[in-house]
Amino acid sequence: MSLAGNIETRPDGSNLIVDASGTWTLATISGLDKQVRAIAPSSGQSVSIDLRNVGLLDTAGAWVLFRLRERLKGEGFQAEFSHVGDSHEGLFHHIVECEEQPPMNLQKFHPFRRLTDRTGYQSYQMWLETKAMLAFFGEMMLTAAGALLRPRRLKFTSIVSHMEQVGINAMPIVGLLTFLVGVVLTFQGADQLRRFGAEIFTVNLLGISFLRETGILMTAIIIAGRSGSAFAAQIGTMKVNEEVDAMRALGINPIELLVLPRTIALILVMPLLGFYADMAGLVGGALMAVISLDLSIGQFLTQLQSAVPMWSFWVGIIKAPVFAFAIALVGCYNGLKVEGSAESVGRMTTRAVVQSIFLVIVIDAVFSVIFSFIGI
């Protein structure tokens, strides 16, 4: 038996014998395929494909022989295999099974249906996320109530440490950004009001917008990106290192040890940061008013006092603890949801920032509607 594959034809009465021999594998099939395609029986002949002399046969070789038989049948000839070895029969059965499988039913792409499916899936995931966060909120409230009944369970050292991290350490960035926003807001407001000869009302615009909305909202967004992400990353890293599981094994409540101190610290320092941001923004606005409007500091303060009621200041400060609680809640919740990988820490930290900012803006909108409804 030759190593290379070979195929020959010989007549046998009204039959045509196709003798296949040698090795029919992927390595030798290119030359054999050309010979197989050239086989053309005479009219009326039946074809017998004799495989008794075939040595090595793989799926590629079997498929070429199978294709020969099917082509001849399609041309109207009676074509069959003969002398198929037991070791080769399984390959042909496998090819027959593959050929008999129905073609894949490719669904037509529907952009609107896909958009609807994705919207529904994301809405369902948002609903599940909301339920889980509400459950975490309830667990946190129960833990806080227990800690208030037994104040010795509160970790005051940890609270003070976190107040330094989220409050004092955040003052430079909060002050700088709100100062610059005050400068920009005053400059843009003066540029627009100058067309109507009402530049003095730039002070009104700055005072009311900054004390009611911009100052505390800017502070909350900065803290969400700075401290909310830090909460998620710190707790998430502890989760990856199995420190949270170790706490539970020792009977220590992670919410009491990790979540409450961060939440209390942020709630205590957020009103102070909001006040600091308001003052930084007003200083920036006053500086730009002196430069662009030729106002003195005394004129600026007089106009500010007459134009801005005290409630505008308290409206912003009242929001601060609520914003702080939302940021701490979301940051700690996502930190505790981290799974055992560094990639999960990054993903949950990003989610904490996005969800915190989204929640802060939603809460601010709700506050605006409420204050407008009660006439404040």
CATH assignment of the domain containing 44 = 3.30.750.24
CA distance 322 to 148: 19
Work out the average pLDDT over 238-255: 89
Residue 258's alpha-carbon distances to 231, 243, 313, 363, in angstroms, are: 9, 11, 33, 25
Task: Answer yes or no: do 91 and 159 share one domain.
Answer: no
Q: Which range (57-61, 95-99, 110-114, 133-137) has the least confidence? A: 95-99
The residue out of 40, 75, 100 marking a domain boundary is: 100
347: in domain: yes
Q: What angle do CA 164, 166, 171 make, to 5 degrees?
A: 85
Q: In the prediction, which pLDDT does 88 show?
A: 77
The residue out of 81, 100, 119 marking a domain boundary is: 100
Q: In the prediction, which pLDDT does 2 show?
A: 47
Query: Binning pLDDT at 50, 70 and 90, where does residue 166 land?
Result: very high
The residue out of 73, 100, 127 marking a domain boundary is: 100
Phi, psi of 194 (to 5 degrees): -65, -25
* pLDDT averaged over every residue in the chain: 86
83: pLDDT strictly greater than 50: yes
Range of the domain at 62: 6-100
177: pLDDT strictly greater than 70: yes
Q: In the prediction, which pLDDT does 52 show?
A: 80
35-71 pLDDT, tens digit each: 778 787 777 678 888 888 888 888 887 878 888 888 8
Task: Answer yes or no: do 35 and 142 share one domain.
Answer: no
Residue 323 one-letter amino acid:
F
112: in domain: no
Q: Which residues contact 339 (CB under 8 A, 6 or more apart)?
A: 239
Query: Binning pLDDT at 50, 70 and 90, where does residue 22 land?
Result: confident
